[in-house]
């Protein structure tokens, strides 16, 4: 099973049998491997997908991909939790911590059909070694086009067993 997953993540390498190119590896934010995205920061030039039209935003994925911090260009900062959406396997919900909501305020709650990161290496990586790569995080709502972050530069570690980690995170994808 690991071999099948590894082959799904990797295309043809740079010519050697001991290297691979990681192309289009997918990580669902709320799946077990979502924790591999912890600590990453994703920039969005248009924050409409988060309910802030006309602004840009930065989304930081917290510990084990169960928390987040969203900061908009107007200075709004929202801390909250990331949860699964039972009816949509690749979906998620971002919900503001209730203690941050002022009296009479409405908490930030956004639900998405897809919350998925795409992982790509910038070239062939030798098994057991590391190399540069990028991760983009996409969200979409039902019936709407997906919105992707700017590519986040990362270091991909291609383990001997064919699994990949991002920035030495303990959770492989």
Number of structural domains, the chain?
A: 1
The answer to the question of residue 173 being in a domain is: no
8 A C-beta contact, residue 138 and residue 149 = yes
- Over residues 26-36, the pLDDT tens digits come to 999 999 899 99
Question: What pTM was computed for the model?
Answer: 0.85
- What's the pLDDT band for 103 if we cut at 50, 70, 90? low
Half-sphere exposure of 47 (CA within 13 A, CB side): 20
The answer to the question of residue 33 being in a domain is: yes
Range from 4-18, 80-94, 108-122, 137-151 carrying the lowest mean pLDDT: 4-18
Q: 123: phi > 0 → left, psi -120 to 50 → alpha, else beta; which? A: left
Which domain range does residue 71 map to? 2-166
- Which pLDDT does position 114 carry in this prediction? 92
The answer to the question of residue 112 being in a domain is: yes
The answer to the question of residue 171 being in a domain is: no
């Amino acid at each position: 099973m690991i071999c099948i997953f590894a082959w799904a993540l990797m295309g043809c390498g740079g010519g050697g049998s001991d290297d691979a190119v990681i192309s289009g590896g997918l990580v669902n934010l709320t799946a077990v491997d979502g924790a591999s995205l912890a600590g990453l920061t994703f920039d969005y030039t248009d924050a409409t997908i988060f309910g802030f039209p006309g602004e840009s935003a930065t989304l930081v994925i917290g510990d084990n991909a169960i928390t987040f911090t969203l900061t908009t260009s107007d200075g709004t900062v929202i801390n909250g939790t990331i949860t699964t959406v039972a009816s949509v396997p690749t979906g998620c919900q971002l919900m503001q911590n209730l203690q941050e909501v002022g009296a009479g305020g409405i908490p930030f709650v956004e639900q998405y059909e897809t919350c998925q990161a795409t992982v790509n290496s910038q070239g062939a990586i030798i098994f057991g070694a590391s190399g540069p790569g990028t991760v983009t995080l996409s969200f979409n709502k039902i019936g709407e086009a997906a919105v992707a972050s700017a590519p986040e530069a990362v270091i991909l570690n291609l383990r001997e067993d064919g699994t990949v980690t991002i920035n030495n995170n303990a959770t492989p994808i």
